[in-house]
Amino acid sequence: QKEVEQNSGPLSVPEGAIASLNCTYSDRVSQSFFWYRQYSGKSPELIMSIYSNGDKEDGRFTAQLNKASQYVSLLIRDSQPSDSATYLCAVGAGTALIFGKGTTLSVSS
Amino acid sequence: NAGVMQNPRHLVRRRGQEARLRCSPMKGHSHVYWYRQLPEEGLKFMVYLQKENIIDESGMPKERFSAEFPKEGPSILRIQQVVRGDSAAYFCASSPQGLKTEAFFGQGTRLTVV
């Protein structure tokens, strides 16, 4: 069974710090990887997509992919209280887009 | 360019009734995914459809649940003879070219079974 694993948290960081979120996946042939943010009671919002090994930066966000280790991460620089949310890792595995259970991030001011 | 539209936003059904949830993908998107989310839990994959085809329904319960995405009109998730355990948020997402491209979510339908 294809699985995506994330630490549930909560991950607590002070305002201005770097938040590091991690994700591992089981299906070696996965080709597409995504990070979503979900505020309580709202729908998931796409933050980043990454398809090849290495880093991809977009503003304060950097996604990192290591297919050999089956590992995806998201770094959030200069964390803000508005970044407090649940972050979902999603992996395109075979014929399904599978989500982890999410990591709750809390940024304190 | 309108986003993914789901309706209704809230749906209340009595046990034994049918629930029909609709999802209109973004313009130009022909791939739709359906997910169920229970409170404080993650998104559980249910089904992946392309226009007129079910690509992967491995996450769908074997009974009472069905999904379609006709050539014209929205994708429909249908739950027959609802039970209290079906109460959840149901989200759909759409993408232009399946798993190789980014998927965007609708606002969800909150189903309550009383």
Q: pLDDT (tens digit, 9 = 90+) per residue, B57-95?
A: 999 999 999 999 999 999 999 999 999 999 999 999 999
- pLDDT, average across residues A47-71: 96
Sign of the CA dihedral with B54 first, then B56, B58, and B61 last: negative
Six token digits for residue B110? 């909150």
- pLDDT, average across residues A21-29: 94
B26 in A contact zone (CB under 8 Å) = no
* Cβ <8 Å between A88 and B42: yes
pLDDT of residue B1: 54
Q: pLDDT digit string (tens) for B10-67?
A: 999 999 999 999 999 999 999 999 999 998 788 999 999 999 999 999 999 999 999 9
What span, in angstroms and rounded, lies between the C-alpha atoms of B1 and B47?
Answer: 25
Closest CA to A44 of B32, B105, B48, B95: B105
Nearest C-alpha in B relative to A90: B43
Sign of the CA dihedral with B51 first, then B52, B55, and B61 last: positive
Nearest C-alpha in B relative to A43: B107
Contact B33, B98 (CB under 8 A): no
Confidence band (pLDDT; 50, 70, 90) for B98?
confident
Six token digits for residue B32? 């739709």
Q: How many CB pairs under 8 A join A and B?
A: 58
- pLDDT, average across residues A3-18: 94
What span, in angstroms and rounded, lies between the C-alpha atoms of B17 and B111?
Answer: 12
Chain B nearest-CA distance from A82, in A, is: 20
